[in-house]
Structure 1
Amino acid sequence: MARLGINQYGKAETHLVRVVRDAPAHEVRDLLVSVALSGALEAVHLDGDNSAVLATDTQKNTVYAFAREHGVGTPEAFAALLARHFVGGAITRARVEVREVAWTRLSDHAFTQASSEQRVAVVVAEADAQWFVSGLSGLVVLKTTDSEFHGFPRDRYTTLAETDDRVLATEVAARWRHDGSADFGAARAALLECFAAHHSLSLQQTLYAMGSAVLDACPGVAEIRLSMPNKHHFVVDLSPFGLENPNEVFHADDRPYGLIEGAVVRDGAPEAGPVWDPYPLV
């Protein structure tokens, strides 16, 4: 015998570009919107009965129509607006994820996109509750000193040299769950300021310090999860050419890489609810 397990469906990565023209200097909002709906959907899976299925094409059209009728606002506000709209009838839970890429202004009507960074907002709504996660991905940071790595175990397979002065670089992906009040700008600034100021003895230590800094800066944040690959920079041996290399010339190696991940949780924080599961760490 078999039974239907956890399931959801929706429209993924609707690409919405909203131009705001209500001032001489226009504004461009560039969003990827993904919707996932779940609820009493056994009949469509078991019998092919579509009477409870809101077509994914309708979901896409709703995204575009809401952008015109209501504007976009913050990614969190737009995600919440959509999620609340989709809950009803057979649909008991809606998850909406909004990813935004920023455009930098060149003039009133011209823009450039030069960064891989994305702002991320996720809202899960039920009839009487909703949960918020905000975050970012693709935030590349590097520091040229104030980073060490030593004291690790050594065995016959260990070749990595210990160091008390290295380049530390990573591409931060972070998600923080909150009560809807967390200021994205304050959280992002806390991540950057901590990375710049922290004297690192390991990337793990830096991850914990950065997560703690967000909790300090944003009282509404209950938990932050971070994924930080170590973008390795190895000192090049220039001795065959009769040259010294006092930590000035590096080989940047893109793979394989160390991947450091972890969560920092506020003492007494409420349970996460459905906003994390069944999704990965970030």
Structure 2
Amino acid sequence: MSDDTSFLSSARYGKDKVRVLRVVREGKWHHIVEYNVQALLEGDIETSYTEADNSVVVATDSIKNITYYIAKISPHILIPERFALHLGTHLVSKYPHIHKAFVTVEQLRWSRIPVSGEQGPTEHPHAFIRDGDEKRIVKVEVNASKGKDKIIASVTAGLSDLLVLKTTESAFTSFVRDKYTTLKEVDDRILSTSIDLSYTFSPVEIPKPTDADVEQFAVPAEITPGSVWDTSVPTNARKVTLDTFASDNSASVQATLYRMARLIIAQNAHVQTVSYALPNKHYIPVDMGYLGVENLVPAQAEVFMPIAAPSGLITATVSRK
């Protein structure tokens, strides 16, 4: 086979599953974050693949060490969007031949332990509990392809594994019926899903670090509401998701999903797209007719069998006009 039959069309490498726990101390009041970090690089690295030339390779072990170092020095460590941007900006600024950095941060959910006090329960200043499987997700692309002084960043954020359930005000009727249909129509059912949400912001310009070691990272002095710098966006998006799920008299998962996404876009001026993935968590009423006990009619169904698989999966993306 001749050498002109193929070419390297893309290449990206880095470090995955870098686990970071950072403690930030404010006197006796401590904060913690736990992150799983992935940091990947693109740039003039072709010869490491095509010519076995390692002189262009920033070792993945170095990328791991840089991740820990930025986690140590960054004043933005408690905000995953800003930490990811700080890390990505440092990587593309430090190495002349690296043009893009792709940083994914998965934040595990820790909450303060409430303890008894003279005035009632209070949050403990340095004791925490792992608060479920929900994770906050941030994906950042830091692009210096047009120059180290013209860095542009794209950010997608959201959450995953947010498990929710409601016991009524959910129906599923009037769907297509044909010879393959065995599912019965129901006007009242359990609705449960494990929510994956992502929303993409408008791209932002990142100032070039001005220090010799390109370790500084500047956040705008004035924060534009609804932008990637607005720390209320994740809280509000989560609240919209939960409020809508709880209060919507759902005709279908699709209809509820659409209402959630539209509200997030309406409330955040710089969010361009919102995507949800909502897998059905099925709970099937147990048939007790053989015992003379009614447990299938929705108003009397009280004992259910959780079914893990197969499950429906409902996805959609809603975009700003």
Structure-1-length-normalised TM-score: 0.91
Displacement after TM superposition at 1:16 (Å):
0.2
Corresponding letter in the other structure for 1:131:
S
Displacement after TM superposition at 1:217 (Å):
2.1
Confirm or deny: 8 A CA contact 2:74 2:86 kept in the other structure: no
Alignment-derived partner of residue 273 in structure 1: none
Q: Does 1:233 align with 2:283?
A: yes
Alignment-derived partner of residue 274 in structure 1: none
Confirm or deny: 8 A CA contact 2:261 2:275 kept in the other structure: yes
Alignment-derived partner of residue 137 in structure 1: 160
Q: Which moved more, 1:97-106 or 1:179-188?
A: 179-188
Corresponding letter in the other structure for 1:98:
V
Alignment-derived partner of residue 133 in structure 2: 116
Measure the CA separation in 2 of the matches of 1:120 and 1:23: 29
Corresponding letter in the other structure for 1:101:
L
Measure the CA separation in 1 of the matches of 2:27 and 2:248: 41
Kindly tell me: are residues 171 and 186 of structure 1, through their superposed partners in 2, closer, same or farther at Cα, counting changes over 3 Å?
same
Q: Does 1:78 align with 2:83?
A: yes
Q: Does 1:27 align with 2:77?
A: no
Measure the CA separation in 2 of the matches of 1:163 and 1:172: 23
Q: Deviations over 1:55-84 (max 9, x none)?
A: 111111111111111241310000000111
Matching of residues 85-234 of structure 1 within 5 Å? 85-87=90-92, 88-106=95-113, 107-127=124-144, 128=150, 129-179=152-202, 180-182=228-230, 183-234=233-284
Confirm or deny: 8 A CA contact 1:222 1:265 kept in the other structure: yes
Corresponding letter in the other structure for 1:139:
L
SS of equivalent residue, structure 1 residue 117: strand
Confirm or deny: 8 A CA contact 2:106 2:138 kept in the other structure: yes
SS of equivalent residue, structure 2 residue 13: coil
Measure the CA separation in 2 of the matches of 1:147 and 1:23: 48
Displacement after TM superposition at 1:170 (Å):
0.4
Q: 1:257 aligns with which of 277, 289, 311?
A: 311
Measure the CA separation in 2 of the matches of 1:44 and 1:227: 38
Q: Which moved more, 1:178-187 or 1:165-174?
A: 178-187
Alignment-derived partner of residue 222 in structure 2: none
Unaligned runs of 5+ in 2: 114-123, 145-149, 203-227
Measure the CA separation in 1 of the matches of 2:107 and 2:294: 45
Structure-2-length-normalised TM-score: 0.80
Measure the CA separation in 1 of the matches of 2:268 and 2:241: 11
Corresponding letter in the other structure for 1:187:
A
Q: Which moved more, 1:3-12 or 1:177-186?
A: 177-186
Measure the CA separation in 1 of the matches of 2:312 and 2:195: 13
Displacement after TM superposition at 1:8 (Å):
0.5
Q: 1:18 aligns with which of 13, 16, 22?
A: 22
Measure the CA separation in 2 of the matches of 1:45 and 1:132: 29
Q: Deviations over 1:236-264 (max 9, x none)?
A: 11111121221221111111100111101
Q: Deviations over 1:132-164 (max 9, x none)?
A: 111100101111111110111222221111000
Please report the RMSD computed on the Cα atoms of aligned residues, expressed in angstroms: 1.3
Displacement after TM superposition at 1:201 (Å):
1.0
Corresponding letter in the other structure for 1:76:
E
Measure the CA separation in 1 of the matches of 2:269 and 2:138: 18
Corresponding letter in the other structure for 1:266:
R
SS of equivalent residue, structure 1 residue 10: strand
- Largest Rg, 1 or 2: 2
Confirm or deny: 8 A CA contact 1:224 1:265 kept in the other structure: yes
Confirm or deny: 8 A CA contact 1:177 1:224 kept in the other structure: yes
Corresponding letter in the other structure for 1:38:
E
Corresponding letter in the other structure for 1:114:
D
